[in-house]
Every structure is written in C-alpha cells, then in structure tokens.
C-alpha cells in the first residue's frame, strides 16, 4: 500500500510527537517493508534522529519556496494525489483541510485534549485553533487512533465521536530502552553529567501540568539523611523559573542536577543508573516516561490520573498528585529499599501490551481495513 504521513513532527520535533512519529513509521517499515512510505513535511530537517528517514524505504517530500506557507493544511493534498497515495495518516491531531473532498482515505492520531483540561496553559487563540483542527479531524477522518483509553474517552465525550470510529493503539517505546548497558558506557555518562552514585530521576518538560513542584516540596519535607539528589531531564520556560525559585526557597540547590537534551542511549543509562524515577503528572495522553522506567527496570512513582494507570499497570507506585506529604513518604520508602521493580513475570506481561511488533500489526490491520 502507498501510505502518506504528516511528517512535520517527525522531522522537526526532538521529543514527544517527534518520537511518536519516528517510532511508528520506523516500526511500520521494519515489520511491513511491503508498504511504500511517503513522508510529507514543510521542512526536512537532517539530524541524528531523522537521518534514517532519508534512506531507502522512505520517500520524504517538502515543497519549495513560498508554497511552504499553509502547505501542510492545504497544498499537501495535491502532492498526495500526484503520488498516488492510497491512505493518509495525520500523526499529530490534524488533517489538511483540502482532504475533505479528495476521496483519499484518512487516519488521524489524537494524542490528548490537554487544552480542554488546562486552558490556562494555552493562549485563547491557540485553544480556538486546536479545537477547530481537532473537530475537523474527528469529523472527516475514516478512523481515529487514540494512544490510550483515557484519550479515547475524551474524544468521544468532547467531540461526540462514535466509539466504533476510535481505536486505541498504544504508543510504544524506542527499542533503545530495552538495550542493556555496559559498565564503560554508564561510567562515561556518569562522568559527563557529574552524577552521584545514587539519585532520583525526573524526565519531562518542565511545565505546570508535569507537576515537578510537588517533588521539590516533598524533598523539602525530608531530612537530608533521607534524601537522594534529584536529576531533572527536561527544559521549560516560566514554570522552570518557578521551580528554580522553589528550590532556592527550600535551600535544595545542592540536591538538584539539571540535564537537557541527552541522546536516547544516554537517557537509557540515566534511567538504569537511577534508584527510582518520579513522574507526578496531573494529566497525560499516555505518559511515556512511566513505561520507559518499567522497560529499564526502574521503579517509578506516578499519579492515578488519566492514562498513567494504563502506562504503569500494577508495576508503578501511585500517589494522588496533590499531596506532597504522601509523595515524600513514598520517596523515602523507595530510597531505603534495594532497587527492585517487581515480579519479572508481571513486568513481562505488562510490557507485552506495548510490544512494538504487536502494536505495528494492530496499525497495519487498521490501514488495510480502511484503505
């Protein structure tokens, strides 16, 4: 089948939607090389993450000159028809407006409806655009992929989509996180980032919804002898400044290590060398750091919110997300325990739900049924 993908995020986003797009497309090519994969983006960015998609097996395309303006929303349809695309997959919430009367079969992935639940984090104009794009995609796609059951319920509730139109296909984890690490590689990363022998890990954008504030408050409640240093992997804007101020207020500056932009192989090591990770997000479309923790045999504390229970199963440790004292107690409990994630059989059973080959088969079946 000749399949077209909205590849803007694949080529331009380092994390999040970029990782989702790259992993999905790469897995499809790996397990179903019979498909003809076309990647459409306003700009083709070449870097370490995207170089594989310029190789044989992929056909990247970008318009030239002034046609880039609005091309992803309108002009791309002409390219799809010229290339004989049989099915188009919008990987990040939207479909081009011009696809409505094109006769092309379409699939769209909806990751979350965060702007509905945290409107204060999105300017009004952005919320209006998101709402229009999401509504259009839900109405005019042949099939919707939700990356969790929580997101599926949100789509059905807010956009009145019939349940049969929405299929849950979980996001899988990069194969890098299943790779065992060598002592040499681990020592290199520890030396590069000047890491202590034991630490707690937090991975994610430093934004209000991720709720890093509660981790800082929980650490402040603990006696120094009961604490481990916190390694924060991520970047942020205004909220990052609030976190810095909170760290100063509680005199925790010497307990915090900030890392930005590690390579995936380094992040794998950061997980595996940590004593446990903490991810107290208030809402996620999926919650990939929870699954990454489990895949790297790292205990993880998260919240009982939205999709996070799906990602964590009965392996993760749960808090309610608003009680710093509860988090402090849980962190202290794990600090004094030997690093142990749980029964290997339970872990394998949980991770099997997110197996890359199984999820790719679900995706391929969906494509064939809707082409």
CATH topology identical between 2-172+355-370 and 175-352: yes
Q: Note the pLDDT of residue 73.
A: 76
- Number of residues in the chain: 371
- Rounded to an integer, the average pLDDT of 196-202 is 97
- Rounded to an integer, the average pLDDT of 353-362 is 97
Torsions phi, psi for 234 (to 5 deg):
160, 170
pTM of the model: 0.93
**Confidence band of 14 (pLDDT split at 50, 70, 90):** confident
Q: Note the pLDDT of residue 74.
A: 78
CB 112 within 8 A of CB 283: yes
Q: Note the pLDDT of residue 67.
A: 60
Higher local confidence (pLDDT), 367 or 70: 367
Distances (CA, A) of 290 to 177, 219, 286, 293: 12, 20, 9, 5
Task: Give the separation between CA 280 and CA 304, rounded to whole angstroms.
Answer: 9
What pLDDT, in 10s, does the model give residues 295-325?
Answer: 999 999 999 999 999 999 999 999 999 999 9
Distances (CA, A) of 221 to 115, 325, 329: 32, 7, 9
Domain ranges across the chain: 2-172+355-370, 175-352
Task: Give the separation between CA 256 and CA 251, rounded to whole angstroms.
Answer: 10
What pLDDT, in 10s, does the model give residues 49-101?
Answer: 999 999 999 999 999 875 666 787 778 999 999 999 999 999 999 999 988 88
Q: Note the pLDDT of residue 101.
A: 85
- Rounded to an integer, the average pLDDT of 254-275 is 96
Task: Give the separation between CA 247 and CA 258, rounded to whole angstroms.
Answer: 12
CATH code of the domain made up of 2-172+355-370:
3.40.50.2000
Q: Kindly report the three-state secondary structure assignment for every residue of the chain.
A: CEEEEECHHHHHCCCCHHHHHHHHHHHHHHHCCCCEEEEECCCCCCCCCCHHHHCCCEEEECCCHHHHCCHHHHHHHHHHHHCCCCEEEECCCCCCHHHCCCCCEEEEEECCCHHHHCHHHCCHHHHHHHHHHHHHHHHHCCEEEECCHHHHHHHHHHHCCCHHHEEECCCCCCHHHHCCCCHHHHHHHHHHCCCCCCCEEEECCCCHHHCHHHHHHHHHHCCHHHCCCEEEECCCCHHHHHHHHHHHHCCCHHHEEEECCCCHHHHHHHHHHCCEEEECCCCCCCCHHHHHHHHCCCCEEEECCCCHHHHHCCCCEEECCCCHHHHHHHHHHHHCCCCCCCCHHHHHHHHHCCCHHHHHHHHHHHHHHHC
Q: In the CATH scheme, what architecture does the domain 175-352 have?
A: 3-Layer(aba) Sandwich (3.40)
């Amino acid at each position: 089948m000749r399949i077209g993908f909205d590849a803007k995020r694949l080529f331009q986003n380092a994390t999040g939607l970029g990782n989702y797009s790259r992993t999905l497309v790469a897995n499809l090519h790996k397990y179903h090389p019979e498909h003809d994969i076309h990647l459409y983006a306003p700009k083709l960015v070449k870097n370490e993450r995207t170089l594989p998609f310029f190789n044989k097996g992929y056909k990247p395309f970008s318009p030239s000159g002034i046609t880039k303006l609005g091309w992803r929303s309108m002009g791309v349809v002409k390219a799809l028809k010229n290339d004989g695309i049989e099915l188009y997959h919008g990987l990040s919430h939207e479909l081009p407006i011009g696809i409505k009367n094109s006769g092309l079969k379409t699939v769209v992935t909806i990751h979350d409806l965060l702007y509905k639940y945290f409107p204060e984090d999105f300017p009004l104009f952005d919320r209006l655009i998101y709402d229009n794009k999401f509504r259009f995609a839900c109405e005019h796609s042949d099939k919707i992929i939700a990356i969790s059951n929580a997101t599926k319920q949100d789509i059905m509730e807010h956009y009145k989509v019939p349940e049969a139109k929405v299929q849950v296909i979980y996001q899988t984890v990069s194969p890098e996180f299943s790779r065992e690490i060598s002592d040499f590689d681990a020592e290199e990363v520890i030396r590069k980032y000047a890491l202590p022998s034991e630490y707690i890990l937090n991975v994610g954008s430093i934004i209000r919804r991720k709720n890093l504030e509660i981790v800082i408050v929980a650490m402040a409640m603990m006696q120094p002898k009961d604490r481990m240093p916190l390694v924060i992997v991520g970047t942020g804007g205004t909220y990052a400044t609030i976190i810095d101020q909170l760290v100063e207020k509680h005199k925790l500056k010497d307990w915090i290590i900030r890392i930005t932009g590690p390579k995936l192989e380094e992040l794998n090591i950061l997980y595996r060398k940590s004593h446990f990770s903490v991810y107290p997000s208030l809402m996620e479309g999926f919650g990939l750091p929870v699954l990454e923790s489990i895949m790297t045999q790292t205990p993880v504390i998260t919240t009982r919110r939205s999709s996070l229970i799906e990602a964590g199963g009965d392996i993760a440790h749960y808090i309610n997300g608003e009680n710093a004292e509860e988090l402090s107690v849980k962190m202290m409990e794990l600090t004094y325990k030997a690093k142990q994630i749980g029964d290997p059989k339970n872990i394998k059973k949980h991770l099997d739900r997110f197996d890359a080959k199984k999820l790719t088969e679900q995706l391929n079946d969906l494509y064939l049924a809707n082409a």
